[in-house]
Every structure is written in C-alpha cells, then in structure tokens.
Structure 1
C-alpha cells in the first residue's frame, strides 16, 4: 500500500532505486496505484505544460533543488527530469527513482508532475543526455535548468548535449568561483545562440526591483541632470553576489551607453571599473561584505558638482524593503517595497516565458565588455 502525503503533495513509487530500463514501467505502476487508491469515482487529471530538465553536480545540490520542485510544479505543471552527476551508487554506474506530485481539487485529483531522478557516477555522466531525451514528453516545450555551480560552457559536452534538447536554458551565476572568467564564457555562448534558444539568468530577475527603483528615482524628470553628471557609483554586496552585481552594472552601462575603459581588482573583496559616457568618466567601486546573504545591500550614486551636492544611497533594510539612506543622500528619505523572491518562484515564472529579453542580452554584452577590460 502506498502512503500519500497530504495535499501538497508527493508520492514516491518505491524507496529503492531502479534501473534506467524500468523507468517507464515504474511510472505506469505509480499511475495505476494512484488511480486505484484515490479515484473513487472522481477524476484524476494529468496537468503537464512542459518538460523541465534539471542538472545538479552532486547529491547535496539535488536535495536542495528537490525541495523546490513542489513549489515550481504547483504553478507550472511539468515532467521533471532531475539529473545528478557524481552520484554515490552501491552497484552499477547509473540508476533512477520516480515519483509524482499531486494535489486535491474540488472535482477530483490533479497530478501536476512526474519526476524522474537519474543518478550517475562520474564515469557515466555522459549518458545523462540520452536518458533525458528518451523520457521527454513529446510536443511540449523543454527547459533546461542548469543548477550546477559550474558555468555552463565550462562543463563541455554534457551541457551542450543537454542544451540541444531545450527551447530555453535557465542558469544562475550566484556562487561562481571566478566571475570575470565565467561571465565572459557564458556571454560568448549566449551571443552565439542568436535566435535558436531563450537563455535566462536568474540574477536578472533577482535585480528586477533594483532596476525598477533606480529607473524611477534617477529618471530625468525626477532627478534632472543626475544621470548626465553621474561620476561615482559605490556598491556593497554579500558573499557570492559579485556576478549579480556585475550584471546590474552591465545593465546601467548598456542603458546609458557607457564604454568600459578599465577595471582592476583592489583586493580579494574590492574591485573597480571606469566607464566613459558622452559627458564624463564614471567610476564604479564594488565591495564585498565579510558576511551576509548573496544580495545587494547598498548602492550609492553621486552626481555632485562643485557648487551643488547630489547623491542618493539605496540600502536593503530587510527581506521586504529597500530604503533611501538619509545621511548619505541629498534627496528625501523614503522606503520602497521590495520582497526578495525565492528561487522556485523565479524558476516557475521563467518557465512560462518563451521570448528573448533584449534588455537582458544588452546587459550581458556590456558585462562581457567589462570582463574584457578587467582581464587585460
């Protein structure tokens, strides 16, 4: 007898792992048992809007991602293939687990995901793309979520083969060990895709509230002359958030048509860029805080003139608010609503998107130019 969790929502076929050849049979058995146990004259509906392939480097990553799947498929039902490299197996080199996610509706039951975990030892990782291909639901769009901490192009054939299966690729630059090198390699690959695939960085959604806030407060109608006179930007971020900060600066450079002319590392926690605008040179000073979450904590803009000071400093106050720091600003203090989104929300929102984001791609190109001058 199968034990069902209360709605929301996971049903596991069995606790032991199965061979790859038994995946389809295990799913059919799971469906059959579910029908027998819960139908009772009610409808059991299958909801599936797309395929979601997720790649993780190891078991720890997979456990973390696995806890997010329920929230993702609750919003965007999908067949989920969770691929795990460097797995620990007692025998053989590649095995699988299957499960389904379900929820109770007024008129019956809805199965919103079929989940297939594929665990491979290091020597069998190259088999993961073929296993994924064989178990995709036909005629549905496919998204690859590259959940690895390794920048995608640096993974070589494994990533390229998985990417060929997808209409959309989602990646996250949080925690990259070498942001300058990683941004450069990822940007080159994205540029090479042209119109073939939608590529999305979760950092772009993470900085959405900052982009909106900066656009509103520094708008020429709100702060006349601020952008034309801007000379200094200072940014403080938490650990593992440099690549996200890099993208925010790239967005500013692309929108304001700045040219990156220099960049260097001042210490293990600080770096600086210089940009040239039509009017003047802009310095961007970025500092990593010794502790905290991977977030932007403070962003200061200075457009002071010899005869007139002009500054605004934004600071994250908590998980729900960003405020203007009165002591560091020449504009009135204000507080803005800005909730930090959780990753599952970012993923489910992006799964519904099928169009290329020109603003993101322009920001990525500017980030690439920043990498180029930084590496000289």
Structure 2
C-alpha cells in the first residue's frame, strides 16, 4: 500500500477515488490492506471519538482544510466527512475520495481517522446531506464544521439539512462579505436553537486572548472606574477581521450592559457605534488597515475625565505577543504572551466541548443589537 508522510507522526494512505456508491467498499479495502501491511504481531487500534462533517464550497478551501485534518484528528480522532459543493469531479456530477490517517505507537498502530471526501457539482449539492447521513458512525457525537464563506442561515437548505444531523455546529465569520447582515441572520438562528444544539463561532476562540487581557488589565482592582467610565474605544483590525471585531465589541457591550443606540459607516474602512450606559455615552470606532492578516492589531480604551487622563493602548507586537504602548497609555508598559492559534487548534479544542456557552450567546445578542441600529 502506498502511504505518504503527514508531518512527523501522522500518515495517511493514498486516497482511493471512486463513485459515491463505492465508499463503503473502498473503506473495507483500505482496512484490509492496512491490516496486511502492518501484520506481524502488531496491534491496530481504531481511535474514533466523534463524526466530523465539514462543508466547504470551493476546491481551494477544501485543499486548505485537507492540510489541517491531520492536526485535528491527532488530538481528536474522528470519522471525517469532507463535503465539497461546487466541486469538479473527474466524471459525472459526484465522486468520492477515501483514505485513512494513522500513527505509529510503541505497541503498534493507531488509526485516528477515516476520511471520506464527497465532491459534487453545483447541480448535485443537494445530495450531500444524504451522503453524509449514510456514512456516519452511529452512537458517536456529530459535529458540523461549516467552512463556507456564506453565513450559515444564508446558505439555505444545504446548511439546514446538514445542521439537522449534528449535535454541534461550528462556523467562522471571518471573511463574510456583509458582516452586519451575517451577524443578524446567524444570531437569530442561534437563538432559535434554544437548548437543542451547541453552536460555536471560531471568532470567539480567536479573541479569547484579548478577552482575558482586557479583563485582567481593566479589572476594577487594577484600574478603578476604567470600565465604568469608558467614553471611547478605537480598534484597528486587518482585512477580513471586521466580523471578529464585531463579536469582541458585542462581548464588551453584553458584559458592561451597554445599549446600542446608533451606528454608521464612515467610509469603506471605518465604522462607528454609539452606546449608552447610565447616561454615559460610549463611542466605538473600528478601522480596517489597508493590508495585513485578519487579526486585531490595536485597541485603545479611553476613560479620561476633565482633569484626569486615563488611557490604555494594547498593540499586537507579533504572532506571540501583545504589548501596552506607553506613548498612548497612562498605565505602565507591559508585554503579554498571546500566541495566535491555528484554525486546526481551534477546531480540535471545540470538538471536546458539548455544552452551550451562555456568555458567548449573550455576546451574539449584543452583536445583533449593534447590527440592528447600523445605518447602511
């Protein structure tokens, strides 16, 4: 059997191409050949903790996800169903690729994933839910990773049918063409789920370091009255990171009980919101840098009064650190460890969670209120 290395530990078998109807036969054949190749008294352990359905709608995104799957299943073994809409099958309107991911242990071999790719044309995309349903492992949790650039509810039937199969839905609002519309529609859908499903936005984990840092540095014991006296926040973010910025501001608004009263687009790269809390006006400006990565780069909090300045400016220094800019701050400069996690790390970490996060959902509700007052 031909195999290819996938990093220092993880390997995968050569993908077996065939029709959708050939998937089960291809899996049996791969298992049989794998057992023959590693025979000689070695143990083969099949590790599988859940089903992971991944939907994407371009072959380019599928190629990126394919590179991330080994890191995901190394931490969280799963049967992976990669569904590719708008694909380009070699023959007809649908085809499959089947492979196995495995790693060597001291006592033998561990199979960490069975990967099934279902590639269909635009005309056949409605077949994907039934393909996924037919190849799930029973009695194991099911997670849907919605990797399309379309906000989940805006994609229509394909999303709703796949979501019906899942116990947990993971989506990512990075790169949404219309963040205001996407936040509004997605938040309404999340609220309608009540306690039936776990829904998670990768942006929530991406801003975890920022949330922790803001909570520590602006804690009332560290900076008395800073949070209660805030009058403005300026945020600089990179391209495709506005929706993530939106979630961060929504988190602040929900935790500090701000009410969104106004929102405007000042230019193609700058938005402003106005909030109120106990007769206090808070202005939040979000500016997009002309180039860079989809990250938060700079946050300036200002709680100055007439004769008492109060400011703190956080700035991302590199992929591992966030610092306090002493030239823009009235607090001592410091540097904090804040490594940017990979997408695969975010996914594998979330796969282990099986309960809803109320603080996240409250942040989503506040984000929706921000979109409701936004003037297009």
Which category describes the TM-score, using the shorter chain as reference length?
over 0.9
Show the 5 A alignment for 1:268-283. 268-283=268-283
CA distance in 2, matches of 1:134, 1:208: 36
* Alpha-carbon offset, residue 39 of structure 1: 2.7
* Alpha-carbon offset, residue 65 of structure 1: 0.6
Match of 1:58 in 2: 58
Name which of structure 1's ranges 171-180 and 219-228 shifts more when overlaid on structure 2.
Answer: 219-228
**Distance change (3 Å), C-alpha of 1:369 and 1:34:** same
What SS does structure 1 have at the residue aligned with 2:3? coil
CA deviation map 1:306-352 (0-9, x unaligned): 01100000000000000000000000000000000000000000000
**Distance change (3 Å), C-alpha of 1:185 and 1:375:** farther
- Indicate conservation of the 8 Å contact 2:301/2:312, yes or no: yes
- Indicate conservation of the 8 Å contact 1:229/1:279, yes or no: no
* Alpha-carbon offset, residue 279 of structure 1: 4.4
Name which of structure 1's ranges 56-65 and 82-91 shifts more when overlaid on structure 2.
Answer: 82-91
* Alpha-carbon offset, residue 35 of structure 1: 0.4
Match of 1:247 in 2: 247
Match of 1:291 in 2: 291
Name which of structure 1's ranges 236-245 and 31-40 shifts more when overlaid on structure 2.
Answer: 31-40
CA deviation map 1:357-376 (0-9, x unaligned): 00100000000000000047
Match of 1:2 in 2: 2
CA distance in 2, matches of 1:210, 1:130: 40
* Alpha-carbon offset, residue 278 of structure 1: 1.5
Show the 5 A alignment for 1:305-316. 305-316=305-316
TM-score (norm 1): 0.98
What SS does structure 1 have at the residue aligned with 2:67? helix
Name which of structure 1's ranges 60-69 and 220-229 shifts more when overlaid on structure 2.
Answer: 220-229
TM-score (norm 2): 0.98
Show the 5 A alignment for 1:308-327. 308-327=308-327
Structure 1: gaps (5+ residues): none
> What is the RMSD of the two structures over their aligned residues, measured on CA atoms?
1.0
CA deviation map 1:181-220 (0-9, x unaligned): 0100110100100001000000000000000000011111
CA distance in 2, matches of 1:103, 1:168: 27
- Indicate conservation of the 8 Å contact 1:13/1:26, yes or no: no
Match of 2:32 in 1: 32
CA deviation map 1:13-51 (0-9, x unaligned): 43xx21111101100100000000013211001000000
CA distance in 1, matches of 2:19, 2:121: 14
Give runs of ≥4 in structure 1 deviating > 3 Å.
3-7
Match of 2:201 in 1: 201
Match of 2:121 in 1: 121
What SS does structure 2 have at the residue aligned with 1:176? coil
What SS does structure 2 have at the residue aligned with 1:229? coil
* Alpha-carbon offset, residue 252 of structure 1: 0.1
- Indicate conservation of the 8 Å contact 2:3/2:11, yes or no: no
Counterpart check, 1:11 vs 2:22: no
Show the 5 A alignment for 1:182-193. 182-193=182-193
Counterpart check, 1:134 vs 2:134: yes
CA distance in 2, matches of 1:299, 1:223: 16
Counterpart check, 1:155 vs 2:155: yes
* Alpha-carbon offset, residue 58 of structure 1: 1.2
**Distance change (3 Å), C-alpha of 1:332 and 1:97:** same
Counterpart check, 1:93 vs 2:93: yes
CA deviation map 1:152-180 (0-9, x unaligned): 11110000000000000000000000000
